[in-house]
Structure 1
């Protein structure tokens, strides 16, 4: 009996000893297993770029490319309404951001300013602007008026007489046509080219150039090289003032334009009907 008990004790001791050794071995393995972390795929770019088996290659991250494509596609929401070109400090552009329908308004931005969330306005041309963000630049062309003009032609309003000349400086305007023109600043900004008129380093109105035949300015009797100083007594000291002045014309029955033509000051009067 004693011999049997001693034999059972030895078997138990051997079993426990084996399990302890196995646990210690597992513990040792866990302690000395190296921590292998996944490297970014860009860490291997030097292998492709140096390419010992052929000409050097350029390795680009697919994620970065996708981000650039996504940013580029969002530029279509930015609409360029018009521009005023001159020296950089006196150049402006009018934009609308279609990605914010709740704020469907036109805004004026001067050279070097941030345009909504799209980047900095770094170049302003007659028919386009350049915006730069994060070292990348993109061009926004001037909006085309084809749809607006086509819509007017279909509605039959294009045959209405916009302006009737009473005498040399007095005109009769179709009020409905005027209100439609005010509601479409694209046409106001593109029916002529507006250049800042600089006097002693300060802006005094706009010089009107490239007047389109049949456009708003032509219908109002304005000529190339006319300088538009004031509308209803409000000085046009910059694009912001011009936009505010045009908005203030809504509902008015009379409009007076103070201009300089061929060096001489004169006023043009318009009566709404």
Structure 2
């Protein structure tokens, strides 16, 4: 049969069937919509939707490594890499750990002498502790229950129990500064002896110069009271002289002296340019031995100082009577 002839004959039936099918599906969809609406109206209201805890990452938001640092998945022993807020605040509460010059002054003690060298191992500080006793120390040593942390040209820093304090040269610390100085009775003048220097300007205090007597060019006598005064006031020596470690072949061979004319050390027979090798047979090529020599000088009855002068050894002697 010819399809065109069939369509022409049954055109009305074909259109009517399509309309019927369309009407059926339309009626079916409308009935489903009505049933859904009736069911929603009769159901209880649904709870309001809550926003998610964290907003989704937008394209403008920069990524952060904080979650990784807080979790620290690379090490199960160390724990989080970011310290807790309490520790961070504790570190910020003490600015002296950031800037040592903001450290508070030490409550006791006084720095009476500082000898600074380019090599920190050869830097020394004499600190007067409680009781008036002076102890010589270098970096890392213990003085009066504190650790000597660092030595500068005008101050030292001490630590105790994690707390840091500072002492300035010549200034008394907190509690010591508040104490009123006790009156001291003036000792009677001793019998006059021949001073070590007969002429020229002298920086030696008269009460010390009058207690010294020259025996020879390399030997001198000094009374114990005058020697004690020098130990109690080391600035008498440090203000007029300096000792610097002398290096040869990368080794310290002694202390090179720079001495002001008319000073105490010149009265003892030392000269500028002398290389001090030993004191009372204690070698001064090691900082620890140099500290030992200083500690023993106060109790020794005599000082035997070996220096190198113009390439030859010279022995100087100081008798403490």
For Structure 1 versus Structure 2, the TM-score category normalised by the shorter chain is 0.5 to 0.7
Aligned to 1:108: 137
Aligned to 2:149: 120
Out of 276, 288, 293, the position equivalent to 1:228 is: 276
Q: Distance in 2 between matches of 1:201 and 1:152?
A: 52
Q: Does 1:87 align with 2:118?
A: yes
Q: If each structure's strand is expressed as a fraction of its own residues, which one has the higher value? A: 1
Aligned to 2:310: 262
Out of 163, 168, 189, the position equivalent to 2:217 is: 168
CA-based RMSD: 4.5
Moved over 3 A (4+): 63-68, 71-78, 102-105, 112-120, 127-133, 136-141, 151-160, 182-191, 212-215, 249-254
Q: Distance in 2 between matches of 1:175 and 1:65?
A: 47
Q: Distance in 2 between matches of 1:144 and 1:260?
A: 36
Give TM-score, length-normalised by structure 1: 0.54
How far residue 220 of structure 1 moved from its aligned partner, in angstroms, is 0.7
How far residue 189 of structure 1 moved from its aligned partner, in angstroms, is 4.5
Q: Distance in 2 between matches of 1:137 and 1:252?
A: 35
Aligned to 1:249: 297
Distance 1:237 1:128, change over 3 A: same
**SS in structure 2 of the partner of residue 164 of structure 1:** strand
Out of 142, 146, 153, the position equivalent to 2:169 is: 142
Q: Distance in 2 between matches of 1:241 and 1:156?
A: 37
How far residue 260 of structure 1 moved from its aligned partner, in angstroms, is 1.4
Q: If each structure's helix is expressed as a fraction of its own residues, which one has the higher value? A: 1
Q: Distance in 2 between matches of 1:137 and 1:175?
A: 38
Q: Is the 8 A contact 2:307 2:313 kept in 1?
A: yes
Q: Is the 8 A contact 2:121 2:138 kept in 1?
A: no
Give TM-score, length-normalised by structure 2: 0.47
Q: Alignment length, in residue pairs?
A: 200
Out of 170, 187, 193, the position equivalent to 2:242 is: 193
**SS in structure 2 of the partner of residue 87 of structure 1:** coil
Point out the more displaced range, 198-207 or 179-188.
Answer: 179-188
Gaps spanning 5+ residues in structure 2: where?
1-88, 173-183, 191-205
Gaps spanning 5+ residues in structure 1: where?
1-59, 146-150
Distance 1:213 1:162, change over 3 A: farther
Distance 1:271 1:64, change over 3 A: closer
Q: Is the 8 A contact 1:78 1:95 kept in 2?
A: no
Q: Distance in 1 between matches of 2:185 and 2:305?
A: 26
Distance 1:162 1:270, change over 3 A: same
